[in-house]
Amino acid sequence: MDFLRVGLPQALAAFGAGPFERGLSWTCFLLGLWCVLCTAEWISRFDLFRDDGLLSWRVMALRPQWVHRSALLAPLQRPRGVAALLAVRLACGVALLLPLAGWPRIGLLLALVATGWLFKLRNWLGEDGSDQMGQVVASGSVLTALGLQWQDLALALAGCLLVAGQLTISYFLAGVAKLVSYEWRSGRAVVGVMGTRAYGHDLAARLASASLWFPIAFCWFVIVTETVFPVFLFGPPAVLAVVLAAFGLFHVATALFMGLNTFVWAFVAAYPSVLVLNALLVRAW
């Protein structure tokens, strides 16, 4: 189908709402897993938010130029306020595991975005790339859910573009950064990281050091796959599915060996949007 000839509205009408709905259902489920896991991790480290903790307001306010002054954030200056915020996020995560649709699903996604934004304003320390990706996926899912609710497939597509675009940019820039790094090109990066105390693993370090060619081959596989990832968006769906499965296994490996547990679900939650966008692009040819 030629989008330039028939126009985007007609093309989306022919594509239908089904792929968007199925993709959003999977995204919400995976977002729920991510939210439950990352919130549970924060709850397990709640001592950080107490009055004598590293993330207490006494400590956070030491950098006034980084602190957002707002009456909305005043309750979050106290540990009880942070506990309430985490409780809301945990409840949202659990609810997203259920097969909800319509306004209840939209409300949960909006609550997830709002609480994530408040938590980010409260803490300018301690977050990582999975938190940023999860927030982008949740924001894009709001657009997709609203588009489905209002029967506006262009809005639903905008949500998919936001999520799939962020994932594509993340993988591509990660690949480019590795490509210009001698440590990655030489294979020393995986050996070095696996040998650290913070992100290392004894078994993985031994496996990476056992062969001269394995770390080089592994690093170059990651570099090439991440760098050319945008190309797979325009390829056959089966090829893209295999590539996403490989990336998913890569994230699982980083969770097992490096302790980056939340990265798995935050990034995999973006995969349904990538598959939907790919299906739409394939129909465009």
- Domain locations in the chain as residue ranges: 3-284
Spell out the residues 6+ positions from residue 83 whose beta carbon is closer than 8 angstroms to its own.
Answer: 46, 49
What tokens does 130 get?
A: 């999975």
End-to-end CA distance of the chain: 6
pTM: 0.89
Please give the share of the chain, as a percent, with pLDDT higher than 70: 89
Q: d(Cα 198, Cα 45) in Å, to the nearest integer? A: 17
Going 46 to 51 to 57 to 61, the CA torsion angle's sign is negative
Reading the chain (285 residues) residue by residue, the pLDDT tens digits are 455 444 677 778 878 899 999 999 999 999 999 999 999 999 998 998 898 888 888 877 776 665 566 666 778 888 899 999 999 999 999 999 999 999 999 999 999 999 999 888 887 765 678 889 999 999 999 999 999 999 999 999 999 999 999 999 999 999 999 999 998 898 888 877 777 766 666 776 777 677 778 888 888 999 999 999 999 999 999 999 999 999 999 899 888 877 778 889 999 999 999 999 999 988 876
